[in-house]
Amino acid sequence: MTARGRHYSLSLLPLLLGALAFLLVIGPRVLDPTNIAWLGEGDAATHYMGWAFFRHSPWTFPLGMNPSYGLELGNGIIFSDSNPLLAFMFKPFSAWLPDTFQYFGFWLLACFVLQAWFAWKLTGLLSSSVWVRLLGTGLFVFSPPMFLRMGGHLSLSGHFLILAALYLALRPGVEKRRLAWGALLAATALVHAYLLAMVALIWLADLATRTHQGTLSRRRAGIELAGLFLLVAFCCWQAGYFSVGGGTVAGGYGLYRLNVMSLVNPSGWSHVLRDIPQGPGDYEGFNYLGLGILVLAICAGVALLQGNTGLRRAMRNRWLLLVALIGLTLFSLTNHLGIGLLEVHYWLPKSLEQAANVFRAAGRMFWPVFYAIVFVVIFLVIRGNRPRAAACLLAIALVVQVLDTHAGWAGLRKNRMQPAASSWPTSMSDPFWASAAGHYSKVRTLMPQNQPENWLLTSQYALSHGLGTDGVYLGRMGTREIEQAQRRADQMLASGEYEADSLYILDSRAALLAAKTVHRQTDLLTRVDGLVVLAPGWKSCAQCRPFADETLDVQARLGERQVFNRANAMLTSGWGRVEDWGTWSEGMAAEVVLRVPPQARGIAIEAAAFIQPRHTSQRVEVSINGIAVLSTRLTRLQDNTLELPLTPAIREAMEVEGQVRVQFHLPDAISPKALGLGTDERVLGLGLKSLTVN
């Protein structure tokens, strides 16, 4: 075999390793482009929905506008995290693709293969030994932070982009650097903003380093800086980054941080190491190295103490890159420094905090540092040992890494290998929906907001019938646009005048308000398949099938048990999605509004409480129309009853207001995530099952 043939053969090894790791960790079912069963929840659902609407939308300029998915609230394809790079590639062929088509399985395969390829290139800077390079590549591939993102944030699984940036910054030559960096930055801009920020910072550090060292003239550096800046700006414009204005800034900096213990905190990703308690938002800073890397780090430390590894000299040559990585670390830690459950806060100017909120999930920004640490550990092991000894240490570390992180990726594989399906189940089965789709061009939610209740049902319905919708879930929405839409919604609910081309799906508060002002001679207000629907002009439409009105009143009769396992107008604020048994409160406060007969003397509420072994009680403080009636502590998950007397003072307040406002204050509400019980961030306290007026 010729030298070139051997080179090409060796190049296949990392690609094969990446493909095998994909089959082991993810499995082959996601490669079926018609299988969307594994995309049916959370962030992955909006990734698919964004693409599904985009493929059927007319071309726009900028290319990344997705007008039917989000309407005026925000509709850039980048903000549904639908991977514009692939969306732009596949949209021209939409007419030839199956009705159900997803490319996210191909993306995950590409993430594994390219992660292995650029890891191979990186380790090639350290050793020419095939075995050493291959084993080092395996350690980069079995990266818990990358695997974790494959559970939901699919575009953020593209960690190979970070490895590519590190390789370009560490390689000795400068040939074709504009082409290489330009292609990398453009591709990253079309994948995700967080990855773009990381890659761009590494590029700037490399550009400054080469200029400082004299390997790149100032003139060439200036041309590269200006040219690639314009290229990235153009790609961002086309992907829709600039479509939401002030909506790019959101709160969360300091909450979604890197915990100091993150590198050694497995958070469920180890069979051996125990989890370390952490703050409620620290899951975004998940950067567990893996037991294999931690064991190898001990060997690297020994090599460092023995000296002669060349690490110090290498760091001096790339000191600007080191400064950039230190900056990313400080940004990731935020000004709310977390050390396990301990938090140390230091002051930052409000202007800096607001700017930092553009990348509010700051813990993610540590990923380049994570991979730099892995690279340094492998560097020290290779330089501090003979090739055979280094290969043995790397092999042991890789075996330990794969076996121990199985605790985390086994669940990932189980989810991705669920039975294939080309559609998601829906509860919207009544013939009303098909009839309404022929009469309206849009389906809207009241109140307008990002990720409203039943957003997935709403967007599924809109997609299947070719309607536009604002019932969507996006990474960012225009702040001004949401405020305008909510003001318009308040005006419609107050006046009873709605847009004739839109079908409305109402939350419990909107249903309560709409019931007071709806024009019942022409408009239909009813409940269909558990959803409260307002159909403007329905009764004046000769082709629209008759459908009975529902009062949606909040009047409760004596002795009648009101259940909350379906949408109920009494649930005005602070309640989550309706489940088969009832609904959880979300946050520290919730409210129920109803009307009761004059002879009513009390209200009995059947409730659950969010009780766990590590959270054994829930305080519940209840007031009615602003008057305190009950303060208790619940210690049982089920079978809790709250007896609320309607005292003379309360009945007097009821007569003035015309309704009963039952307000719950829940100071002990907490999220399952904060207790180490998965990734659910909802702050839960009281589970409302039923209410009876006595």
pLDDT higher than threshold 70 for residue 291 = yes
Nearest of 152, 168, 181 to residue 47 by alpha carbon: 152
Residue with tokens 């159909």: 535
- Predicted confidence (pLDDT) at residue 198 exceeds the cutoff of 60: yes
- Reply yes or no on whether the pLDDT at 572 is more than 80: no
Predicted pLDDT at 250:
63
Contacts of 344 (CB under 8 A, 6+ apart): 336, 337
Residue 678 vs residues 54, 154, 411, 599: alpha-carbon distances, Å: 32, 18, 11, 47
Read off the pLDDT of residues 292-314 as tens digits, 9 standing for 90 and up. 999 999 999 999 998 788 898 98
Asked if the model's pLDDT at residue 568 lies above 90, the reply is no
What token pair was written down for 284?
């975004």
> pLDDT-based confidence at 8, cuts 50/70/90?
low
284 or 562: which carries more pLDDT confidence? 284
Separation CA 60–CA 66 (nearest Å): 8
pLDDT digits (tens, 9 = 90+) for 50-83: 999 999 999 999 999 999 999 998 889 999 999 9
Is the pLDDT at 553 greater than 80, yes or no?
A: no
Residue 516's pLDDT band (boundaries 50, 70, 90)? confident
pTM, full prediction: 0.83
Report the alpha-carbon distance of residue 312 to residue 300 in Å, rounded. Answer: 14
Q: What is the pLDDT of residue 7?
A: 62
DSSP assignment of 612-658 equals: BTTB--EEEEEEETTEEEEEEEE--SS-EEEEEE--HHHHHHHHHHS
Residue 610 · residue 687 · CB < 8 Å: yes
Residues 615-624 pLDDT 10s: 899 999 999 8
Q: Tokens representing 243? A: 């479509």
Give pLDDT, residue 218: 94
pLDDT digits (tens, 9 = 90+) for 76-102: 999 999 999 999 999 999 999 999 999
- pLDDT value of residue 6: 63
**Residue 429: helix, strand or coil by DSSP?**
coil
Instruction: For residue 587, report the phi and psi dihedrals to the nearest 5 degrees.
Output: 110, -170
Beta strands in 448-586 (DSSP E): 468-469, 502-506, 524-528, 531-535, 561-563, 571-573, 575-578, 583-586
The answer to whether 553 and 659 have CB atoms below 8 angstroms apart is no
Q: What is the pLDDT of residue 642?
A: 92
Give the pLDDT mean for 18-22.
97
d(CA 109, CA 119): 15
Q: Bigger pLDDT: 187 or 255? A: 187
